[in-house]
Structure 1
Amino acid sequence: MALTGEELGILRQLGEGETPQKTASLVLSKVAAQFAGRVALISSFGAESAVLLALLAQNDPQIPVYFLDTKRHFPETLLYRDQLVQFLGLKNLRILSPSDEALKDRDPQDQLAGFDPDACCALRKVEPLEVVLPEFDLWLTGRKRMQSLTRAALPVIEPQKDGTVKINPLAQWQQADITHFMREKGLPQHPLVAKGYLSIGCVPCTRPVKEGEDSRAGRWAGKVKMECGIHRPVPRQA
């Protein structure tokens, strides 16, 4: 079921006028206390994922965490995923993957990403996630405004057309906030970050970031594509 107007109003008020860190804490504590069983988190287990996962674990490690295993991830990402789950004590990791039949029919040689990355993302990420989307009213994401122009207007509370809500607790965070939190909590870092990968997706569509580029510039480099499809760009307000 969708959120009521009252529930949405409560969410919108969370953290207003607070620091980015306080906002994230307020949102996570409220969601864990009031919306148990109705909320899940989507995580790439990428360069900055440890922050939101740590905040979730502090409030309720039983909240489902969904990982989209596209079958094209870096081996380092899969190892990092398992390391973080154990380190943080997450209790409800759920892995979604495209079916073997779908891969055989639509990408038998693992070459789809090279000539139609949108179709590849649809096959390996969007469609598997759509199967479970109706099970939850709220979805937590780790997106941030500072990551790219397509996310610069990202709200903390992001109502969807179907009456559900995406919640972006870290929307206001800057890189300095991420770095400080990870050091303060002693969180392990994704091993590819040290090699210049500041946003980490699938192997064919990810490269290290160059000096002066935003953190998502290494995703689908040289292509118009900037999002995989499970999230849409947030338009700036006029």
Structure 2
Amino acid sequence: MKFEQIKQQLEKYKSEGKTLFTTSSFQTHSLVLLHMLSRIDRDIPVYFLNTGYLFPEAVAFADEVSERFGMNLKRVNPLVPKHQQRDAEGNLLFTSDPDYCCYLNKTQPMETVLRDYDIWINGIRAEQSRVRQAMKVEQPAPHDVLRFHPMLDWTIQEVFAYIREYDLPRHPLDAKGYASIGCEPCTKKPDPDMQEREARWYGMNKTECGLNTDLAKA
């Protein structure tokens, strides 16, 4: 979908009395959707999941971008404190059970947000993973929420063309060689032959945190 189509769809949702929100990891490629939303309606809440494991640069960049775009930034933190996120041997869960770690730090806190809204504007792109290839522009989520994926058909080339056109900032970790940036313990710099998300949870046969699997219905 292009900008005018996205704008029309959001206006349609609002005319129907729907409440809207979006989420963002504030990676470089995420800024396109945020910038478009800032052109359409800056009052739409932007939820930023701070898992407690993020790179310090990522947290600072989220603050910088939200101020620059005039966004309505809302921070979400895990409900379970880190000292309770350990396995039977006392190891932090990201070392032994990354799926449960992602549930506690991402999926569970996001579920509390879903209960307050009707439409989740989500910036996933089909080319990012096989899971995302199977998704639709509009897709149901738990708690009677409708996921809206306006950038599902965008390519990475289109993303960076928009970034250049509007001179959007780059994530500070881009210059250090990172491609897809998540929690620090589970993110590595990609090898040259890796796809965008393959450096996340490297060696764990895992490419999704749960936000786009557990919080999406077929």
TM-score, normalising length: structure 1: 0.81
In structure 2, the residue matched to 1:95 is 75
Residues 160-207 of structure 1, C-alpha deviations (whole Å, 9 max, x = no match)? 365321011110000110011011111101111223322110001111
CA contact (8 A) 1:36 1:63 kept: no
CA contact (8 A) 1:206 1:219 kept: yes
CA shift for structure 1 position 156: 1.4
Secondary structure of the residue that 1:177 maps to in structure 2? helix
CA shift for structure 1 position 234: 11
CA shift for structure 1 position 24: 3.7
Task: Tell me which of 183, 200, 208 is aligned to 2:189.
Answer: 208
Report the residue type matching 1:196 in the other structure.
G
* Match status 1:78 vs 2:50: no
CA contact (8 A) 1:67 1:95 kept: yes
CA shift for structure 1 position 23: 4.0
Aligned residues: 215
Further displaced range: 107-116 or 151-160: 107-116
CA contact (8 A) 1:197 1:209 kept: yes
In 1, the alpha carbon distance for the partners of 2:57 and 2:185 equals: 14
In 2, the alpha carbon distance for the partners of 1:156 and 1:224 equals: 26
In structure 2, the residue matched to 1:105 is 84
In 2, the alpha carbon distance for the partners of 1:188 and 1:110 equals: 37
In structure 2, the residue matched to 1:115 is 96
- The 3 A distance-change label for structure 1 pair 63 and 234 is closer
In structure 1, the residue matched to 2:25 is 44
RMSD: 2.5
Secondary structure of the residue that 2:81 maps to in structure 1? helix
- The 3 A distance-change label for structure 1 pair 24 and 217 is farther
CA contact (8 A) 1:157 1:166 kept: yes
CA shift for structure 1 position 74: 0.5
Report the residue type matching 1:189 in the other structure.
R
In 2, the alpha carbon distance for the partners of 1:154 and 1:209 equals: 25
TM-score, normalising length: structure 2: 0.88
CA contact (8 A) 1:45 1:80 kept: yes
Q: How does 1:20-59 map to 2 (within 5 A)?
A: 20=2, 22-31=4-13, 33-34=14-15, 38-59=19-40
Work out the percentage of aligned pairs sharing the same amino acid. 35
In 1, the alpha carbon distance for the partners of 2:184 and 2:17 equals: 35
Report the residue type matching 2:27 in the other structure.
G
- The 3 A distance-change label for structure 1 pair 107 and 181 is same
Query: Which structure 2 segments of 5+ residues have no match?
Result: none
CA contact (8 A) 1:47 1:197 kept: no
- The 3 A distance-change label for structure 1 pair 48 and 110 is farther
Further displaced range: 79-88 or 101-110: 101-110
In 2, the alpha carbon distance for the partners of 1:212 and 1:168 equals: 28
CA shift for structure 1 position 37: 6.1
CA contact (8 A) 2:138 2:149 kept: yes
In structure 1, the residue matched to 2:107 is 126
